[in-house]
Amino acid sequence: MATIEECRTALDKLSDNMASAEGDVRTAAALDRSLSCRIPDLDITFVGRLRGGRIEVLDTLQGPPPERAQIRLTMNGDDLVSLVNGELNFAKAWGSGRVKLEAGLRDLFRLRTLL
């Protein structure tokens, strides 16, 4: 099972990847939205913002977040690490329910280019 530190490192790596992306991916990542990433197997939630093409993690909370973020991800720690390392395909993981992505319809349309 991935640790909290490994999950945080994976989010930092994802942020770096998004910041260096170009074209449609960079446009999709340029949203300014509140963000949460729930890791149920560790019973933690990373909360922050997607801003300027980067993920800014502002806090790590025990349990579910107290407020509903505009973009919400839920997955196990191992899946987060595997996704960021390119070992797990996001679209397949999302389609099978291993990864849950919730957001407003307009944001989902923009984020689909990241898939």
Q: What is the pTM of this model?
A: 0.89
Return the CATH number at 90: 3.30.1050.10
pLDDT in tens, 50-86: 998 889 999 999 999 999 999 999 999 999 999 999 9
Q: How far apart are CA 98 and CA 92, in angstroms?
A: 9
Label residues 38-77 b or e (16+ Cβ within 10 Å = b). bbeebebbbbbbbeebbbebeebeeeebeeebbbbbbbbb
Range of the domain at 19: 4-114
Taking residues 92-108, what's their average pLDDT? Answer: 92
Q: How many domains does the chain have?
A: 1
